[in-house]
Chain A
Amino acid sequence: MAAHWKVGYSPRSNGTADLMWALLWKDLLLELRTKETLASLFLLGTLLLLVLSFAFDPTHPMREQSAPGVLWVAIIFSGTSAINRSLLRERENDCFSALLLAPIDRGTIFLAKTLVNFLLLLVAEAFLIPLFIFFFNLPFAHTLGRLCLVAPPTTLGFAAIGTLFSAISLRTRAREIMLPILMLPLASPLFLAAVETTGVLMEGGSLSQVSHWFKLTLAFDLTFLVVGWLTFEYAVSE
């Protein structure tokens, strides 16, 4: 509710879904034309997989122990900079003020941006995960199937908290460093859940063994979608 106070119009009158779709389409079209976020996300992710393979020997028989951690660190760090870009790009092109001036509820802007980041991260993961399986020499279908269950809910929470805090870090000096510093401690339950679930499922554990982690991830997603929706207005208001 709080998110509507300042805008002074009823969001229903314009159709929140239409507005969200417009915002979503704008960003996706931009990405389709430039492919800059996806390209950098994918390259940075690959680079991290490579560098982390130096740290944790991927030919070691114990590689499966470190594999979930390697994958998620690669996704987290490449994803963090991609999310940072998504709002920074608006600001660099002076579109941010226009976006804020538009008669759109700030909560809707938040949800649209979160959805864009979620989709872009998923696409990048669709490339990174096979590469990860390839590098770590893991059973392909089994690992891919398990990761398809873990990745989307984790990525949703990551996109939500990342979008909220990238709006905040945008207004600080040292903004590239601020986003991970602000976000990662708060997102620790999400990543613990992702790494643990991935580890258990890759070792052949059943879904019921990790259902509590799934619930935690969903609770996290919901929490930060709501917190972001309610507070995004404060984060972006001049």
Chain B
Amino acid sequence: MTANTPKTTPITDLLAPAAVILSMLTALYMVFIAVPNDAFQGPVQRIFYVHLAMWLPTFAAFGIVGVTSLLFLWKKDRKWDHIATGSAELGLLFCTLGLATGCIWAKPIWGTWWTWDPRLTLTLILWMIYAAYLLLRNLATDPNQGAVMAAILGVSGVVDLYLVNRAVYWWRGIHPAVVVTKEGDSGLTDPMMRITLMVCLLAFFLLFVWLLRLRIRTAYLEDQVDDLRNRVLVTGV
């Protein structure tokens, strides 16, 4: 039974959070103190570092969901399903935070919380797909079936991504966009800005990896509890 649990040696248990905390503190220091103000946007531009840092974990997570879903359908090994669930949940978390910080940044800079910019639309659709993925798991009448069905959705989501991407770009391409400015154009001219961005990306990616480890452990525990519960029920009769 316990052989299934990933080994959590005290060293990695201590090292991972330590690395996360250290890189986070460095990132905070860089964002708030070390980096110069943006010439056009002023202090609000500092949101940009943390906002951009959300997308690396988000897309990594959704990519992992696609790959592990496929592996799960193919190999039928619960291990892949645990990773897929964990990634979907974390991907949704980072996606939500990315959308939220993006809105908060857009309000002072673009003058609106939301525009139907293709990138925003695409992200919102992604968010809906993975929210549905998690809801499907919770509402499945049988957890094993839920895992298989969620895997189908996970694979479909990745397969569909290219089509969604084309569609929202064409959709916005035909109508004039409200704001033409792109986030990428905010111009990280100062080398310090680029270093800050790198540190932020690293910090949040480490956070993602650490949380994913924890979340996968939760999935293993859930599996064991279900297993034991069944055994208690069987022996109880």
Q: Taking beta carbons and an 8 Å cutoff, which residues of A are in contact with B? A: 2, 164-165, 168, 171-174, 178, 181-182, 184-186, 188-189, 192-193, 196, 212-213, 216, 219-220, 223-224, 227, 231, 234-235, 237
Contacts and interface: CB of A to CB of B under 8 A. Distances in A.
Interface stretch (B32-40, B44-52, B150-158, B219-227): B150-158
Given A182-B132, A185-B125, A185-B129, A234 B152 contact: yes
Contacts of B135: 178, 181
B136 interface: yes
Interface of A is mostly: helix
B117 to A, nearest CB: 15
Given A171-B140, A182-B132, A234 B170 contact: no
**Those 4 A-B pairs whose CB atoms lie nearest each other, nearest first:** A189-B167, A185-B128, A189-B163, A172-B139
Nearest to B157: A186
B93 interface: no
**Overall SS of chain B's interface:** helix
A90 B135 CA distance: 25
Contacts, number: 87
B39 to A, nearest CB: 38
Contacts of B168: 188-189, 192
Interface of B: 73-74, 125, 128-129, 132, 135-136, 139-142, 145-146, 148-149, 151-153, 155-157, 159-160, 163-164, 166-168, 170-171, 174
A186 B129 contact: yes
A132 B32 CA distance: 58
Contact of B156 (A186, A212, A219): A186
Q: Which of A178, A181, A182, A213 has the most CB of B within 10 A?
A: A182
Contacts of A212: 170
A235 B149 contact: yes
For B74, B132, B157, which residue has the most chain A Cβ atoms within 10 angstroms?
Answer: B132
B155 A188 contact: no
Given A171-B141, A188-B164, A213 B170 contact: yes
